[in-house]
Amino acid sequence: MFRNNYDGDTVTFSPTGRLFQVEYALEAIKQGSVTVGLRSSKHAVLVALKRNADELSSYQKKIIKCDEHLGLSLAGLAPDARVLSTYLRQQCNYSKLVFNRKLSVEKAGHLLSDKAQKNTQSYGGRPYGVGLLVVGYDNSGPHLLEFQPSGNILELYGSAIGARSQGSKTYLERVLKDFTEIEDVNELIKVGVEAIRQSLKDETLTVDNLSIAAVGKDLPFTVYDGELVRPFL
Amino acid sequence: MNHDPFSWGRPSDETYGTYNNTIASASPFPKMNTQQPIITGTSVISMKYNNGVIIAADNLGAYGSLLRFNDVERLIPVGKRTIVGVSGDVSDMQHIEQILSDLEIENNYDNSYADDEETLKPSYIFEYLSTLMYQRRSKMNPLWNAIIVAGVEDDKPFLKYVNLLGVTYSSPTLATGFGAHLAIPLLRRVIDREEDIESTNLELAEKTILESMKVLYYRDAHSSRKFSLAIIDKEQGLVFKKGLQVENMSWKFAKDIKGYGTQKV
Amino acid sequence: MTSIGTGYDLSNSVFSPDGRNFQVEYAVKAVENGATSVGIRCQDGVVFGVEKLITSPLLVPGKNRKIQTIDSHIGCVYSGLIPDGRHLVNRGRDEAASFKKIYHRPIPVDALADRLGQYVQAHTLYNSVRPFGITAIFGGVDDVKGPQLYMLEPNGSYWGYSGAATGKGRQSARAELEKLIAKHTKNIDINEDDTDNKTIQLKVRDAVKEIARIIYLAHEDNKEKEFEIEISWCSNEETQGKHKLVPKELLEEAVSFAKETLSHLEDSDDSDSDDDNNEGSATQDNEGDIVLE
């Protein structure tokens, strides 16, 4: 018989040096609907599949704007994402107010990482149960980051998190060479939409369940919902 | 109405009698912060030119009218493209110096672009300092300084001023303290408006600044002959000249000055 | 694994009857599975290197930096749980800043080691926290003692090293470090005061190449996984006492040096550098659950 005694809290290491509570938090991401992020040398794009609780309910927001140059999409516990995005908004404001400076995407990633790490080393709390794709355009160009509840942050050309995200990832890996060269933001969005299709099961993309965001040099972070996504269906 | 601020916000003596300070072993005064600077640095002068900015300040730290220290460096480099020139209280300046050094170290933490795209720009440093100065004045505890931030940003000259009141402004020529009265008219002979920056080269700008430093040494009793000068040029970067001296002086005019000391007019 | 099932290994700060704190030992396991980190103390400074596994082709090459700067003259690299490493470095930065505020000079490396050691040790004392899942190698040059290198373990103990390695490939890396340092040491007399670091003849510029070679060698057991390498240094001669990543050209030179020496090694079919690295995975099933005896 198997029994795991080492997964009760975040302050217990397993005999092999693993933190099960943190690993379970990573599982929570897979419960959320899929979201895809990708970037070229000019733009960064987010594409997300929204879910509704039932026929009559509205769709859960998947993309959150943090500043004119920065935003994120989420997979997992949406309330946790709101905590993290509010934190990023505060940090963006602080940077603007005190330094007249855009918060760099790299710095944003480190801030999230350090905040998440705290929840994994002390008793009483739990790790965040959400994965984020953070995109932004700063002084060094467009960036895409993947955030995990463990506090790990990765900078990628393309990524996908959430249910069945492996399909999108595999697709992005295959077309990596092509999409990093794309100049036109709409073309880049199309690649993102195509990627997210690889993760669909029963769903079909509609104006109601597709959410898109893009950011670039002369393009502030903009979310496209509803009728605005029709051209990409 | 009693116009003495020390009497504000307390029961009036006419109604309640004199307040007995010994009851709560209270101070007869409200809480007080800095009321005056102690060791002071005099003017900082600066101007833009077609390829950058130039800024100068002497090396004196005065204790009232006593010329107490003659090796005070009041031009603080921050990063590769900014100079912060500070006049006023020297100990407050040293505090600012530490803050700026911490700022630079922090900017290098985990910053893969620290050497170029995400380096500290003059505008970031100025925004920080002006926030700091305004915050301190709002706490009624000002840093007793007038500061000029000079640098090059996006290949354009940057020059802005902030002082102990949190007041900020910008101009193609800037000076603090006595320099605002004595040097600015001289600097404006060369650059009167924004358009004049383009037609002013480094050579002319440097000559003008040197000339102004000479006039300041002539007329400002709390100035020293020794000074530092920094140029931030968009091609050459930061050129820091230390231990310069006011040269080719002529004190002939001094004998004509009347109206001070024991002499009878 | 006599610890399992006794109940003494479920909480931090609890001694087992034979006087062990199992949670700290488990934290060490997290380190032993981490990517290899290496540090060398040279005549004129210190050098750090780390292996970065490429877990996805979508990762941006050259980004996702691992080596960090604690103070402008002190660098740090670690193996294990990377976010824990960031936590430790943040603490190091606070300590360095507070030291500077009080004493108006940069923190000496040994003073920092002491403070970080205390901080990590404190995380073994309470059941409200867990130990750090990292072993950190840090060091730099200071005015008092010149180049110094320390390695700090999850239990809070730290030692000064002339060459340190941790993570998955530590055993082969340490064997190489011993050979390298022996080769470049004039007179091995451990009783002699070596604060000037005179006995080590190796310069940082050469150590950069050696570190690349050692990391490539330590990666041999893990051959199927692709990886990048990151190297930083801190030296009075090369970086004016600042901790910096090595320039791109030097890194490329070091990598090609490493690849070249490695291919020579394979030709001659050298097999003595292989140690047993597969400890501690026997009693774990596919799900990562632990088999109870």
Write down the pLDDT at residue C188.
52
B260 to chain C, closest Cα gap in Å? 45
Question: Does residue B34 carry a catalytic annotation?
Answer: yes
User: Model confidence at C65, in pLDDT bands (50, 70, 90)?
Assistant: very high
Distance from C-alpha of B116 to C-alpha of B205, rounded to nearest angstrom: 28
Strand B61-63, strand B39-41: pairing: antiparallel
Write down the pLDDT at residue C181.
93
Helix (H) or strand (E) holding B54: strand B52-58
Write down the pLDDT at residue A3.
66
Tokens of C290: 């632990």
- Residue C249 identity (one-letter amino acid): E
Do the beta carbons of residue A205 and residue A50 sit within 8 Å? Answer: no
Interface of A with C in 203-232 (CB under 8 A): none
Write down the pLDDT at residue A109.
98
Average pLDDT over residues B105-116: 93
The answer to whether the CB atoms of B113 and A104 lie below 8 A apart is yes
Residue A97: its chain B contacts at CB < 8 A? 131
C283 three-state secondary structure: coil
Of A98, A106, A140, the CB nearest to B127: A98
B94 to chain C, closest Cα gap in Å? 11
User: Model confidence at C289, in pLDDT bands (50, 70, 90)?
Assistant: very low
- Residue from C1, C6, C23, C26 whose CB has the most chain A CBs within 10 Å, to mutate: C26
Q: Is the pLDDT of residue A108 over 90?
A: yes
On average, the pLDDT of chain C sits at 88
Distance from C-alpha of C90 to C-alpha of C84, rounded to nearest angstrom: 10
More confidently predicted of C287 and A155:
A155
Write down the pLDDT at residue B256.
82
Tokens of C215: 């990391």
Write down the pLDDT at residue C285.
40
Write down the pLDDT at residue B15.
87
Q: Is the pLDDT of residue C154 over 80?
A: yes
Do the beta carbons of residue B67 and residue B220 sit within 8 Å? Answer: no
Q: Is the pLDDT of residue C284 over 50?
A: no
Nearest to residue C142, comparing CAs of C75, C68, C85? Answer: C75
Write down the pLDDT at residue C191.
58
Distance from C-alpha of C92 to C-alpha of C98, rounded to nearest angstrom: 10
Do the beta carbons of residue A214 and residue A44 sit within 8 Å? Answer: yes
Write down the pLDDT at residue C279.
40
Residue A139: its chain B contacts at CB < 8 A? 113, 117-118
Residue B121: its chain A contacts at CB < 8 A? 101
Average pLDDT over residues A130-153: 98
A180 touches chain C (CB under 8 A): no
More confidently predicted of C103 and C279:
C103
Write down the pLDDT at residue A2.
58
Tokens of B87: 């006049």
A17 touches chain C (CB under 8 A): yes
Average pLDDT over residues B57-82: 97
Write down the pLDDT at residue B174.
98
The answer to whether the CB atoms of C72 and B112 lie below 8 A apart is no
User: C243 pairs with which residues across the strands?
Assistant: C234
Q: Is the pLDDT of residue B68 over 80?
A: yes
Average pLDDT over residues B75-97: 97
The answer to whether the CB atoms of C64 and A117 lie below 8 A apart is no
The answer to whether the CB atoms of B124 and A139 lie below 8 A apart is no
Tens-digit pLDDT profile for residues B126-166: 999 999 999 999 999 999 999 999 999 999 999 999 999 99
Do the beta carbons of residue C172 and residue C275 sit within 8 Å? Answer: yes
Write down the pLDDT at residue C274.
43
Residue C97: its chain B contacts at CB < 8 A? 102, 105
Write down the pLDDT at residue C280.
39
Nearest to residue C112, comparing CAs of C94, C125, C130? Answer: C94
Helix (H) or strand (E) holding C238: helix C236-239
Distance from C-alpha of C203 to C-alpha of C72, rounded to nearest angstrom: 20
Interface of C with A in 126-155 (CB under 8 A): 127-131, 133
User: Model confidence at C291, in pLDDT bands (50, 70, 90)?
Assistant: very low
Q: Considering chain C, what percentage of its residues have pLDDT values greater than 90?
A: 77
Q: What angle do CA A179, A183, A188 make, to 5 degrees?
A: 45
Q: Where are the alpha helices (DSSP H) in B109-245?
A: 122-138, 178-182, 184-190, 202-219
Of C69, C97, C101, the CB nearest to B108: C69
Residues ≥6 apart with Cβ < 8 Å to C123 = A121, C12, C129, C130, C131, C132, C156
Residue C69: its chain B contacts at CB < 8 A? 108-110
User: Model confidence at C148, in pLDDT bands (50, 70, 90)?
Assistant: very high
Q: What is the 3-state secondary structure (H, E, C) of chain A?
A: CECCCCCCCCCCCCCCCCCHHHHHHHHHHHHCCCEEEEECCCEEEEEEECCECCCCCCECCCEEEEECCEEEEEEECHHHHHHHHHHHHHHHHHHHHHHCCCCCHHHHHHHHHHHHHHCCCECCCCCCCEEEEEEEEECCEEEEEEECCCCCEEEECEEEECCCHHHHHHHHHHCHHHHCCCCCHHHHHHHHHHHHHCCCCCCCCCCCCEEEEEEECCEEEEEECHHHHHHHC
Q: Is the pLDDT of residue C283 over 50?
A: no
Q: Which candidate in B15, B18, B22, B34 is catalytic?
A: B34
How many angstroms separate the Cα of C189 from the Cα of each of A185, C64, C186, C194, C200?
66, 41, 9, 9, 12
Q: Which residue of B has its CA nearest to C75?
A: B109
The answer to whether the CB atoms of C64 and A124 lie below 8 A apart is no
Residue C129: its chain A contacts at CB < 8 A? 11, 121-123
Nearest to residue A122, comparing CAs of A12, A5, A6, A7? Answer: A12
End-to-end CA distance of chain A: 50
The answer to whether the CB atoms of B109 and C69 lie below 8 A apart is yes
Write down the pLDDT at residue C196.
53
Distance from C-alpha of B103 to C-alpha of B84, rounded to nearest angstrom: 13
User: Model confidence at C197, in pLDDT bands (50, 70, 90)?
Assistant: low
Average pLDDT over residues C25-32: 96
User: C48 pairs with which residues across the strands?
Assistant: C39, C232
- Chains A and B form CB pairs within 8 A to the count of 33
Tens-digit pLDDT profile for residues A17-64: 999 999 999 999 999 999 999 999 999 999 999 999 999 999 999 999
A229 to chain B, closest Cα gap in Å? 34
* Residue with token string 């190489």: C176
Q: Which residue of C has its CA nearest to A147?
A: C83
Write down the pLDDT at residue C1.
53
Of B111, B112, B123, the CB nearest to A100: B123
Do the beta carbons of residue B210 and residue B30 sit within 8 Å? Answer: no
Do the beta carbons of residue A41 and residue A181 sit within 8 Å? Answer: yes
Q: Where are the alpha helices (DSSP H) in C33-143?
A: 82-103, 109-122
Q: Is the pLDDT of residue B34 over 70?
A: yes
Distance from C-alpha of B125 to C-alpha of B105, rounded to nearest angstrom: 13
The answer to whether the CB atoms of A98 and B131 lie below 8 A apart is yes
How many angstroms separate the Cα of C263 from the Cα of each of A5, A177, B189, C179, C217?
46, 30, 71, 19, 10
Residue A110: its chain C contacts at CB < 8 A? 86
Average pLDDT over residues A128-155: 98
User: Model confidence at C190, in pLDDT bands (50, 70, 90)?
Assistant: low
Write down the pLDDT at residue B11.
82
